[in-house]
Amino acid sequence: MKHILRALALAMCVTLFAAAPASGQERSATKQGFELAPKSGKKILVFRPSVQVGSQSTGGMFEPNGEWTDSAKRNLQVALEKLQTKLGNEIVVAPEAYGEDAQKLAEHMALFAAVSDAVIEYQFFRGNRLPTKKRDNKEDVFDWSLGAGVADLPGAKDADYGLFLYNRDAYGSTGRKVLQVLAMLGPGIPVKSGEHQGYAGLVDLKTGDILWLNADAAMGGDVREAEGADKRAAQLLEDFPGSDLGQ
Amino acid sequence: MTHRMFRTLTGAVAAMALLATPALAHRLRTAKEAATVAGSDMSVTPDRDWNRLSMAPGKHAETWTLDGEQLNDVTFYGGIAPDEPLVRERSKKRDPLPKFLQSTLLVEIPELLEGTYRTQKNIASFELLSTEPTNFLGNKGVRFTYRYTDDDALTRNGEARAAIVGGKLYMITFDAPRLYYFDKSIEPARALMTSATLPGGGAH
């Protein structure tokens, strides 16, 4: 239930944003005081992106599709490799993880997605902010972390920062599209068909603090196609610190 | 086709009802100020500021958080009556939830929470790690810990205290990812549990 409610709340945030741009929806943030100059001598460890593609049932539930996921993984890998050289700093590709290491990495990736969800829901969407974080928000403080456990991830000892990339795409099923039409024809409520979460985060590999986050629950680019994956990768890494991407 | 269409329409109505509800602001729960929870007489006194989320998981339930319910979730269950589920059912027909019964024993409460989570959170693995008697709301209660992995592949740890008072179930649960967030927020969550009182709670 909570998942559906959360998905709907997220959809509502996006819907309200679309209806009232004045309320202000942000998409990216940088930790206060963090700066990364090009060619700074810092090493960025790029973890293998988490990619899930499926369809969205009428009620908004995610139903995974193996074939779509496989092509999206391939497409995004190629797209990201094209951009990695333009990130402005030295890139280290994370070693392939096995067994316990792979499990640890997957869990951190899931935590990164959960933190990004919380940031979108409770910080980027201004009308939905948590009262205890009001002062932080007023002073533009961006204080979110994955915890110091990131220091034990494979490859972390050889780099300064880790780049986490998470994608979850749900393409609207026929039922969902019917709901979209019904809702529009009936009470005139816009319902989203399909969800396209794309999160990119630069993380301090000693503290786990998120230094830069670009997260959107409505990303562009059909990752099942090579061209769409290029678009998605560019959108994910837009304004990456120290790079000239997106400028 | 008819069944599918029905599902579609029910989904549509539910989604529209939710979308039509205006977003209510989350409320601040201030440190050292007692607050009643979950529409009941159960009261807690936080040792730091918390946020009460505007969206309640059930008629007799309420959620507080520090960073978002994905990262730290305290849910209060305030007087679940016999034959009621812990939280609102997604679909009575397709995803029925286990009910608290007049015959439910304290030791069976962890199983009630497990059954509820398995259906509502769509989880495959739930492990009860410990169960022990405790005093809760001035009554004989149960304290238990658990771990589960839900459909976003994130493993969460949980800790709960529950008691049956006057035939109704009162419970406080704390759930957070086992990575970083559980340890970060367990102490203020325990402070809430320890501070919980119920008028006349000790009399039963």
| Domain residue limits, chain B | 26-203
CB B83 within 8 A of CB B101: yes
Chain A residues closer than 8 Å to B65 by CB: 130
Q: Higher pLDDT residue, B136 or A23?
A: B136
CA distance B66 to B72: 6
Please list the residues that pair with B23 across neighbouring strands. none
Nearest to B8 among A12, A58, A111 (CB): A58
Contacts of A5 in chain B (CB under 8 A): 18, 55, 57
Query: Cα B106 to chain center, whole Å?
Result: 16
Q: What SS3 class is residue A102?
A: helix
Cβ separation of B18 and A183 shorter than 8 Å? no
Mean of the per-residue pLDDT values for chain B? 89
Question: Closest to B155 (Cβ–Cβ): which among A107, A121, A186?
Answer: A107
Q: Do B8 and A115 touch (CB under 8 A)?
A: no
Q: Is B125 on the interface with A (CB under 8 A)?
A: no
Architecture of domain B26-203: 3-Layer(aba) Sandwich (3.40)
Whether the pLDDT of residue A8 is over 50: the answer is: no
Residues 58-117 of A with CB under 8 A from B: 58-60, 62, 106-108, 110-111, 113-115, 117
Query: H/E element holding A135?
Result: helix A134-138
The pLDDT tens digits for A136-167 are 877 888 999 999 999 999 999 999 999 999 99
Interface probe for A, chosen from B16, B74, B113, B156 (most Cβ of A below 10 Å), is B16
Domain boundaries, chain A: 31-55+66-171+193-236
DSSP result, B94-115? TBPPP-B-TT--GGGHHHHHHH
Dist. CA A174–CA A206, nearest whole Å = 46
B31 interfacial to chain A (CB closer than 8 Å): no
ipTM: 0.87
Tens digit of pLDDT for each residue in B115-171?
999 999 888 799 999 999 999 999 999 999 999 998 778 999 999 999 999 999 999
Distances (CA, A) of A156 to A39, A43, A92: 20, 10, 10
A23 pLDDT higher than 70: no
Alpha helix positions (H), B65-142: 109-120
Using 50, 70 and 90 to split pLDDT, how confident is the model at A24? low
As a residue count, chain A comes to 247
Which residues have CB under 8 Å from A194's CB, separation 6+? A56, A169, A170, A171, A172, A176
Q: HEC string of A51-65? A: EEEEEECCCCCEEEC
pLDDT of residue B65 exceeding 80, the answer is yes
Q: What is the CA radius of gyration of chain A?
A: 18
Contacts of A128 in chain B (CB under 8 A): 23, 26
Is B69 within 8 Å of A144 when comparing Cβ atoms?
no
Beta-sheet strand order (sheet of B155-165): B27-29, B50-52, B61-65, B73-80, B168-177, B155-165, B139-149, B125-136
For B158-177, the pLDDT digits (tens) are 999 999 999 999 999 999 99
Name the residue with tokens 């997957």: A106
Question: Whole-angstrom Cα distance, residue A201 to residue A28?
Answer: 9
User: What DSSP state is assigned to residue A25?
Assistant: B
Mutate which: A3, A130, A178, vs B, most B CBs within 10 A = A130
Beta bridge partners of A62: A56
For residue A35, pLDDT beyond 90: yes
Q: From CA B58, how far away is CA B158, in angstroms rounded?
A: 19
Q: Which two three-digit tokens encode residue A193? A: 């068909």
Cβ–Cβ below 8 Å for B9 and A189: no
CA B155 and chain centroid, separation = 17
For the cut 90, the answer to whether the pLDDT of residue A178 exceeds it is: no
Q: Report yes or no: B7 at the A interface, CB cutoff 8 Å.
A: yes
Reply yes or no on whether the pLDDT at B5 is more than 80: no
